[in-house]
Structure 1
Amino acid sequence: MAAMFIRVLTLTLLLTLVGCGDDRPDRIAQYQQLAGQRIDSLNQMLDSGQIRNATLLKQYTSILAKQQTDMAPLLDELAKDATTKGPMFTSLVRRVRELSDAGNYIDLDQQLAEAENIYQAADPSLYNDMLSDPLNVVADMSNGALARVNSISREAAALANGSEDFGAGSQLVGNPGYGSWQTGSNGMSFWAWYGMYSMFSNVMRGPIGYDRWSSRRNYSYYNDVGRYRYTSPKQASAQNKTFERTKKQFNSQGKKFDSPYAKSRTGSTSLSRQSTSTPKASTTGTRSKSGSKFRSNYSKNSNFRNSNSRTTRGVRRGK
């Protein structure tokens, strides 16, 4: 009888231990699967013209390329953001693929946070909002002939934020999809565009230094809203290293230097509910244990489809 009691007690303890086990690997796998499904769905929506800002971006770049033929190569490159060949979409594809290797992350908490971020970033409404940056760059290149979207006017934003006008294309500065911060011979960092985006140098007001941009930048969706979702851990680490290096240089001169994300800029209008509930850009790259629980009903295909259809209708309404 005693032996039977011990066996029952042992089995109970084992079941308890299993129930209290680490569920993070399972949650990562679930998010990875759902993120992959969302990216596939987003792919189809981009191909079929269901993302409003993507459609507008195609129209804007086509119109302006006929008027500014010398800038056509740059506009053609920006038009890729309306497709699956743009840097933001290809970044999501790469990030979800990298989730399979735990060695890409510091720990399970970071891997889980990245899995959730990719899942959220592939939301059609959030992605539609993200496209407001390249779309408004083209609008600014038109000198007001084409209207901005999801953002107040260039002049109003500059006045509200006390910012400097770096020229058309400034919304993309700081976004790792379009360039990176490089260190000059003087030890200071400056923005270097990738490939064809270097043509922005022709329309911007000189080189953009990290120290000046940090304190004088204007609003952009990526830097003030979407950075948390659209930045990988490696990219966030590179951004933080640039900040720490610049801060150290300023400290050595007895000066204070604040992060470019310490203060959010004003300028967004009519963003989706998904964007307004996004964690602040200033929290990107910070390490904290995820307190959120993965809701098991997310894995049900019916719920995923229902969520997707709601966001699709929202995009068509122009939100």
Structure 2
Amino acid sequence: MSNFRIWKLVSLLCVLSLMLGCESKEERIQQTITHTLQEASTAINTLGSALDKKQVRNANLLTEYGKVLGQQKPQLSEIAQIISQDATSSGTLYQSLLTRYQSLKSPDPSMNSDDIINQALLLKEAASISLFNDALTDPINVLADMSDGKLARVGAISQQAEQTANGQTGVGNQLVGNANYGEWQTNSNGTSFWMWYGMYRMLGDIVGDVEYGRWSKHRKYSYYSDYGRHRYTSYKSYKRQTELAKRTQQSYQRQGKQFTSPYAKKKSGASGLSRSSNTPSAVTRSSYSRTSSYGSVRNSSSRTSRGVSRGK
């Protein structure tokens, strides 16, 4: 065999090896995406079943708070009933997990493989019963504050203690900034205000107008803003929150004013949350090792035969 033929054969083998190596890496990434989505699906289904069977402690408490507040203040019975829906698998908080799962099965083109895996991991964590139980403290405490002290706050210091430490607190502030219940909308003057979604709009009559810059500087403690935002916010909503903070900071700088990010510092006020809420997300612990082991392939998408079975 001539040297030319040997060289040609060696070159062909090298090319084939490279092609097989690339395919193997992409296959490993797809397997990781599929596996992580399946784990998220299992966690979501398990949580939904626990809610239906009334096995989530704070969900049961939220239901009870809604009933008590409705009896104490009949004029608030409708909003109490709406907020209490989060105690069920048909509530906004649980349904948001389902929506996010479905969106990850057909991910946004801007998401790369790491984004998809990270979002699936965050979704799996958000669906854990202990973390979801903590996330319910925000709607619980909205009802507690509406009761004028008749109902005690859960997972947070009392309203009186917070007022002593941080000044006057507004009723309903725990849900302001929470992407599951509303969003920030910017008017023609460049000023952003909080807008409630659909059935939560009646909270606007109780909370009043909330301007983003002022809220960013003076916001009070909430589980979502101080512990749960990464886990309980969709990929797109999180990006919008980040972009809004950046735009507002630039606007303030042009005016010679100081902008304080609403998430620059964790607010005090939590009390008795689970260990899970105080444990860093697996995303922050695993992102580097995962990226270094297989790299990043843009525009990867997942196709899994299993999915969340709850079609509510």
TM value normalised by structure 2:
0.82
Deviation string for 1:132-185 (max 9, x for gaps)?
00001101111111111111112323444xx45352110000001111111134
Q: Which residue of 1 aligns with 2:203?
A: 200
Give the aligned length.
Answer: 285
Q: Which structure 2 segments of 5+ residues have no match?
A: 1-9, 292-312
Query: Contact conserved, 2:85 with 2:91, CA < 8 A, in 1?
Result: yes
Deviations along 1:229-259, whole A, 9 cap, x unmatched?
A: 0111100111122212211210111122121
Structure 2 vs 1, CA of residues 165 and 191 (structure 1 numbering), >3 Å: closer, same or farther?
Answer: farther
**2-side partners of 1:197 and 1:7: how far apart?**
64
10-19 or 188-197, which moves further after superposition?
Answer: 10-19
- State the distance in 2 between where 1:177 and 1:10 align: 50
The alpha-carbon distance between structure 1 residues 121 and 292, as it changes in their structure 2 partners (threshold 3 A), is farther
CA RMSD for the aligned pairs? 3.1
Partner AA of 1:65 in structure 2: G
Q: CA deviation digits over 1:53-74, x for unaligned, max 9?
A: 0000000001111121111111
Larger Rg computed on CA atoms: 2
Letter in 2 for 1:176: A
SS at match of 2:183: strand
Would the alpha carbon gap of residues 275 and 57 (structure 1) be closer, same or farther in structure 2, given more than 3 Å must change? same
Distance in 2 (alpha carbons) for counterparts of 1:182 and 1:10? 53
Distance (Å, rounded) in 1 between the aligned partners of 2:55 and 2:289: 31
Which runs of 4 or more aligned residues in structure 1 lie more than 6 Å from their structure 2 counterparts after TM superposition?
5-19, 286-289
> In the alignment, what sits opposite 2:53?
48
Shift of 1:114: 0.4
State the shift of 1:267 in Å.
1.2
- Pick one of 34, 38, 41 that aligns with 1:36: 41
Contact 1:158–1:218 under 8 Å retained in 2: no
TM-score normalised to structure 1 length = 0.80
Q: Which runs of 5+ in 1 are unaligned?
A: 281-285, 295-319
Q: Partner residue of 2:287? A: 290
**Match in the other structure for 2:175:** 172
Instruction: Determine the structure 2 residue equivalent to 1:214.
Output: 216
Q: How far apart in 1 are the matches of 2:11 and 2:257?
A: 68
Range with bigger deviation, 6-15 or 75-84: 6-15
* Cα distance in 1 for residues equivalent to 2:16 and 2:102: 39
> For residue 269 of structure 1, what is the amino acid of its counterpart?
S
SS in 2 for 1:238: helix
How far the C-alpha of 1:192 sits from its partner, in A, is 1.2
State the 1:23 CA deviation.
2.8
The correspondence for 1:268, drawn from 267, 270, 275, is 270
Matched residue type, 2:30: P
CA spacing shift, 1:113–1:105, aligned 2, 3 Å: farther
**Is 1:72–2:74 an aligned residue pair?**
no
State the match for 2:244 in structure 1: 242
